[in-house]
C-alpha cells in the first residue's frame, strides 16, 4: 500500500511546474517528516506571543480574511 501511495504522490509532484507551489509542498512535507515540533525552536517571547494570539482567537478577536489580505497587500507595498 505504501509504495502505491508514494507513487501517486510522486506523479502529482512531477506535474507541478510552479516553484512557489513546490516550495509550499516542501514545507508541508517537512512538517510531517521532521522529528521536531515547530514550537521547539521558539523563544520564550515567541511562545508567549503565540499563546496570546491563540487566546485572542478563542475570544473571537480576529479580523476577516478580506481585511487580512488587504493588510498583507498594503504591507507588501511598503
At 60-76, the pLDDT tens digits run 999 999 999 999 988 87
Backbone angles phi, psi at 46, to 5 degrees: -65, -40
pTM here is 0.45
Burial code of 44-75, b = ≥16 C-beta within 10 A, e = fewer? Answer: eeeeeeeeeeeeeeeeeeeeeeeeeeeeeeee
Q: What is the number of residues in the chain?
A: 78
Q: Tens of pLDDT along 11-27?
A: 999 999 999 999 999 98
Domain ranges of the chain: 1-35, 37-78
Q: Which residue has cell 506535474?
A: 15
Amino acid at each position: 500500500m505504501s509504495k502505491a501511495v508514494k507513487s501517486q504522490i510522486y506523479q502529482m509532484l512531477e506535474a507541478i511546474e510552479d516553484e512557489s507551489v513546490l516550495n509550499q509542498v516542501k514545507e508541508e512535507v517537512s512538517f510531517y517528516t521532521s522529528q521536531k515540533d515547530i514550537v521547539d525552536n521558539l523563544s520564550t517571547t515567541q511562545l508567549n506571543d503565540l499563546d496570546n494570539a491563540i487566546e485572542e482567537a478563542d475570544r473571537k478577536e480576529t479580523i476577516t480574511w478580506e481585511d487580512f489580505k488587504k493588510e498583507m497587500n498594503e504591507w507588501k507595498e511598503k
